[in-house]
Copies of this chain bind each other. A is one copy, B any other.
């Protein structure tokens, strides 16, 4: 996307930014498809078509690369969601929230969270990242539902809904769970309409 220089090539800074972005996107794809143990800097560099040296210039350690990748893709997703029109019903809002947990970003984040439970060098960084993404997702869900958290119980209702969405994502990991998921979403959207007094 950078401006072209007089000789037709993008300036160095833009090339560097594009390389970084390709590495981050490849890192999420590799994590989602191969898990933590199969995702090394070398594997990601190859997937992105970048030399290992260039990858290490951008991300000195494996932990740097993968935590930055999950954070980057989560931010891209938040930005994309902000541009969508407001959902017209609780059911549409719940569908949008649940959809956040069925794509490659959730799969990649899940692999990272699970690896962080036994890899000491990942634990604290992923814990902090999970908190940041969790707060941002909660804020998005409140907005999509048009919920008023000053009402008693509403905060915990939204939290429980996000826990349910995370559990639905997990249930979709090994096989396509979309038929069951849409029945659960329809029922709980009706329940939420009651809880939120609609």
Query: How big is chain A's contact interface, by range?
Result: 35 or more
Report the separation of the CA atoms of residues A191 and B157 in the bound assembly, to the nearest whole angstrom. 9
* Contact (A160, B187) CB under 8 Å given A35-B117, A35-B118, A118-B34: yes
Report the separation of the CA atoms of residues A188 and B37 in the bound assembly, to the nearest whole angstrom. 37
Residues of B within 8 A of A167 (CB): 162-170
Q: How many copies does the complex hold?
A: 2
Min CB–CB distance A39 → chain B (angstroms): 9
Report the separation of the CA atoms of residues A127 and B153 in the bound assembly, to the nearest whole angstrom. 36
Q: A173: which of B117, B156, B162 is its contact (CB, 8 Å)?
A: B117
Residues of B within 8 A of A162 (CB): 167
Residues of B within 8 A of A159 (CB): 180, 183-184
Digit string of A166-198 for contact with B (CB within 8 Å is 1, else 0)? 111111011100001001101110110011000
Most chain B beta-carbon contacts within 10 A, residue among A33, A113, A170? A170
What are 23 A-B pairs at a CB distance below 8 A? A35-B115, A35-B117, A35-B118, A37-B37, A110-B170, A111-B114, A117-B173, A123-B174, A126-B174, A127-B174, A127-B175, A156-B186, A157-B188, A160-B184, A160-B188, A163-B164, A163-B167, A163-B184, A164-B167, A166-B171, A167-B170, A170-B170, A191-B191
5 A-B pairs closest in CB distance: A163-B167, A166-B167, A167-B167, A156-B187, A37-B37
